[in-house]
Amino acid sequence: NAGVTQTPKFQVLKTGQSMTLQCAQDMNHEYMSWYRQDPGMGLRLIHYSVGAGITDQGEVPNGYNVSRSTTEDFPLRLLSAAPSQTSVYFCASSYRPSPNEKLFFGSGTQLSVL
């Protein structure tokens, strides 16, 4: 079982460049989300999706864009990278609700913006 697959694992960008972080899951999970993790701040929600065609903003959405055209894929786009977006990014997915809200995480993407 592949689970949640994120690519790339590492990326270095220059300020102003754009890129897409890929996320795919093969568990037929309805719910998918993107988090960023910065030292001392835990994980903060960027965007999430409750199903194909439906997305919503999380706690820190500025500078990021998402779409959910299929159940399996949930890419995260950085529109114009800034040094403040240097972080580790995690994609996660979960089953239908109640009672299980357990998130399955991808292995993360370490992004540096110079």
Partner 1 sequence: EDKVVQSPLSLVVHEGDTVTLNCSYEVTNFRSLLWYKQEKKAPTFLFMLTSSGIEKKSGRLSSILDKKELFSILNITATQTGDSAVYLCAGAGGTSYGKLTFGQGTILTVHP
Chain contacts with partner 1 (rule: CB under 8 A): 30-33, 35, 40-45, 48, 50, 56, 58-59, 88, 90, 92-94, 96-108
CB atoms near residue 98 (< 10 Å): 6
What is the closest distance, in whole angstroms, from the C-beta atom of residue 84 to partner 1 in the complex?
A: 19
What is the closest distance, in whole angstroms, from the C-beta atom of residue 15 to partner 1 in the complex?
A: 26
Residue type, 98: S
Please say which residue, 19 or 88, places its beta carbon nearer to partner 1. 88
Radius of gyration of the chain, Cα coordinates, nearest whole angstrom: 13
Please say which residue, 17 or 50, places its beta carbon nearer to partner 1. 50
What is the closest distance, in whole angstroms, from the C-beta atom of residue 80 to partner 1 in the complex?
A: 26
Please say which residue, 21 or 32, places its beta carbon nearer to partner 1. 32
